[in-house]
């Protein structure tokens, strides 16, 4: 049984909408699974790209921040990734956070939630491939939420998932169901 689920906020930029979406995703998850949900904001984890000399799969971490990141991810039973689509992929900050570790991800059930002008399906596909490379177990259903052009152009850091993503909520519930059974 999954008792602790980490929900990772994949965007770190100013004006981001990811935190609101991640909070909503976690709230839906809490309704469906009897687990503790913890939001993990990558903005709180400014992991440098150029300081760890060893290959992460060795677990030979030199910096306190990488060691703390390792403990944070090791402490979760499953991970929900909430990510915007950036240029058909996912944010560099998320790739960097993934690449800092290896064993901590391996074997964990995962869920991919994306958003973008067309739901972020291309981002989801890329993330699915990388998580599989990390030996995670992504659930089949990958909810993708569509942002209107006006919402993207406003870039105001605001979105109301409860009303704007209402149609896709059942997909999110299905994905959480799969996560709970994994």
Ligand X SMILES: Cc1cc2nc3c(=O)[nH]c(=O)nc-3n(C[C@H](O)[C@H](O)[C@H](O)COP(=O)(O)O)c2cc1C
Interaction site with ligand X (CB under 6 A): 11, 13, 16-18, 84-88, 116-118, 147, 152
Residue (62 or 88) nearer to ligand X, CB: 88
User: Smallest gap, in angstroms, from Cβ of residue 16 to ligand X?
Assistant: 4
User: Smallest gap, in angstroms, from Cβ of residue 145 to ligand X?
Assistant: 10
CA 140 to chain centre: 15
State the DSSP H helix or E strand holding residue 104, giving kind and residue range, or none if neither: none
Q: Which of 176, 181, 179 is nearest to 27 (CA)?
A: 176
What the block records as the tokens of 131 is 């998580």
Query: Quick check: 11 and 118 in contact, CB under 8 A?
Result: no
State the DSSP H helix or E strand holding residue 94, giving kind and residue range, or none if neither: helix 92-99
User: Smallest gap, in angstroms, from Cβ of residue 53 to ligand X?
Assistant: 30
User: Smallest gap, in angstroms, from Cβ of residue 64 to ligand X?
Assistant: 28
Residue (18 or 33) nearer to ligand X, CB: 18
Residue (86 or 102) nearer to ligand X, CB: 86
Residue (144 or 180) nearer to ligand X, CB: 144
SS3 of 13-80: the string is: CCCCCHHHHHHHHHHHHHHHCCCEEEEEEHHHCCCCCCCCCCCHHHCCCCCHHHHHHHHHHHCCCEEE
User: Smallest gap, in angstroms, from Cβ of residue 126 to ligand X?
Assistant: 11
Three-state DSSP class for 82?
A: strand
Residue (41 or 178) nearer to ligand X, CB: 41
Query: Quick check: 69 and 101 in contact, CB under 8 A?
Result: yes
User: Smallest gap, in angstroms, from Cβ of residue 134 to ligand X?
Assistant: 23
Residue (75 or 117) nearer to ligand X, CB: 117
């Amino acid at each position: 049984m999954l008792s602790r689920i980490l929900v990772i906020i994949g965007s770190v930029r100013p004006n981001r909408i990811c935190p609101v979406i991640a909070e909503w995703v976690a709230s839906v998850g809490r309704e469906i699974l009897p687990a503790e949900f913890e939001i993990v904001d990558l903005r709180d984890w400014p992991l440098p790209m150029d300081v760890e000399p060893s290959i992460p799969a060795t677990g030979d971490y030199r910096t306190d921040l990488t060691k703390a990141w390792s403990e944070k991810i090791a402490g979760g039973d499953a991970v929900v990734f909430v990510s915007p689509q950036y240029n058909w992929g996912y944010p560099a900050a998320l790739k960097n956070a993934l690449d800092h570790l290896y064993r901590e991800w391996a074997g964990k059930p995962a869920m991919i939630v994306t958003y973008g002008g067309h739901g972020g399906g291309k981002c989801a596909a890329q993330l699915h491939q990388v998580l599989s490379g990390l030996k995670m177990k992504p659930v089949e259903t990958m909810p993708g939420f569509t942002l209107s052009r006006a919402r993207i152009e406003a870039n105001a850091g605001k979105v109301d998932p409860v009303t704007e993503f209402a149609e896709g909520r059942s997909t999110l519930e299905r994905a959480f169901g799969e996560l709970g059974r994994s």
